[in-house]
Amino acid sequence: MRRKSIKICVTGVAILLCLLSPVFSEEATRESLYVGAQWLQENLDKVVVIDARPKTLYEKGHIPGAVNAEWTYFANVNGQPGTPGWGEIFEKDKLAQKIGALGIDGKKPVIAYADPGGWGQDGWVIWIMRLSGIENSRMLEGGFSAWRAAGGKVSTTSVAPKARAFKIPSFQGGYKVTTPWLKEKLDEVVVIDVRTPFEYKGARIFQEKRGGHIPGALNIPLDSVFREDQTVKSVEEIRTLMASYGISQEDEIVVYDTAGVRSAYMVMVLRMAGFEKARNYDSSFHEWAGNMDLEVVEGDMPGRPTLKTDESVETPDETPLQEDAPENV
């Protein structure tokens, strides 16, 4: 009788854990990418905080101790958008130097924030941290607005960080792809365009050489993964959203926008939701549209990729990264 009671008890506990496991899983998964304002207040002296907003906003008020690094801090924006190499993330040695100059040595956790409803610059920063090997890097959910709403202090004193030694042996995690790679694999991967439908259909508002989208790309705007309060939807909601477009967790996914910033944020959200083969095409539509040998499609239909090449293709993690103009994100 006692043995039977124990068996029933163990079975009951197992069922209870099964019922609760999605909650724990969701919480743990979310915490892999985000921290809350209260957590940051309690741990502010234990982390490096990056304010990814424009300098003008940073100077008006920021989280005490935060260093400022706009997305252009990490990229070459000399020359004209659409020309080869414009907006490209610096090669790994220079990028490592830029990261170290922010006071980051790879040991202390890194927390990035921006304003909700923006271009997702905080996701861009965390994408860079992760591919540079800094796994312990996350975003402040709700951004600067959440910080203020939680009663967090605000400073107008600019921070000049003490440079730290930091190295990037190689880019990590399969987070990125390049134009030659995508050109070769275009009919083998799922391509997501996270720009607005207006841009996707053909509007040129950020100095694009041509309007439209990459052949075969599905238009899933970045704002579709947010709730009305600008917090990110649950893992299940994101999976349901992707499933409505026929996208599964097993698919190899390439995400792009104008300059790779919005798409970097989407990649991080997708990876949080279990889409581990999601990658950012960081040179994005600027570089694609700037190459007149590459096809673009106008209108609201994806179109069909027809491109193939015999060119040698660099592996995604060994090649440089690219982006877009300061406003072209």
Q: What does the alpha-carbon distance between residue 322 and residue 74 come to, in Å, rounded to a whole number?
A: 10
What span, in angstroms and rounded, lies between the C-alpha atoms of 213 and 318? 26
Residue 125 confidence (pLDDT): 98
Name the CATH topology of 176-318.
Answer: Oxidized Rhodanese; domain 1 (3.40.250)
pLDDT category at 86 given cuts 50, 70, 90 is confident
Average pLDDT over every residue of 218-240: 95
Identify which of 29, 269, 33 has the alpha carbon closest to the alpha carbon of residue 139: 33
In one letter, which amino acid is 269? V
**176-318 and 34-149 share a CATH fold:** yes
pLDDT at 84: 78
Share of the chain above pLDDT 90, in %: 74
Residue 311 has pLDDT above 70, yes or no: no
What local confidence, expressed as pLDDT, does residue 13 receive? Answer: 40
Domain 34-149 part of CATH 3.40.250.10: yes
Could you give the CA distance from residue 210 to residue 216 in angstroms, rounded to a whole number? Answer: 17
Identify which has the larger pLDDT, 129 or 2. 129
pLDDT of residue 255: 98
CA proximity to 65, closest of 53, 48, 80, 52: 48
pLDDT for res 81: 82
Query: Is 151's pLDDT higher than 60?
Result: yes
Phi-psi region of 235 (alpha: psi -120 to 50; beta: other; left: phi over 0): alpha
Average pLDDT, the chain: 87
Q: Where are the domains of the chain?
A: 34-149, 176-318
pLDDT of residue 129: 97
- Reply yes or no on whether the pLDDT at 323 is more than 70: no
What is each CA distance from 56 to 47, 62, 68, 156, 254, in whole angstroms? Answer: 24, 11, 10, 11, 32
Q: Regarding predicted confidence, which is higher, 95 or 230? A: 95
Amino acid 158 reads: S
pLDDT value at residue 327: 53
Residue 170's alpha-carbon distances to 82, 104, 133, 236, 322, in angstroms, are: 26, 17, 8, 33, 16
* 281-305 per-position pLDDT tens digit: 999 999 999 999 999 999 999 998 7
Section 243-262 average pLDDT: 96
Count of beta carbons in the 10 Å neighbourhood of residue 308: 11
pLDDT digits (tens, 9 = 90+) for 2-34: 443 433 343 344 333 333 344 445 777 899 999
15-23 long-range contacts (CB < 8 A, ≥24 apart) are: 22/236
- What is the C-alpha to C-alpha distance for residues 133 and 169, in angstroms, rounded to an integer? 9
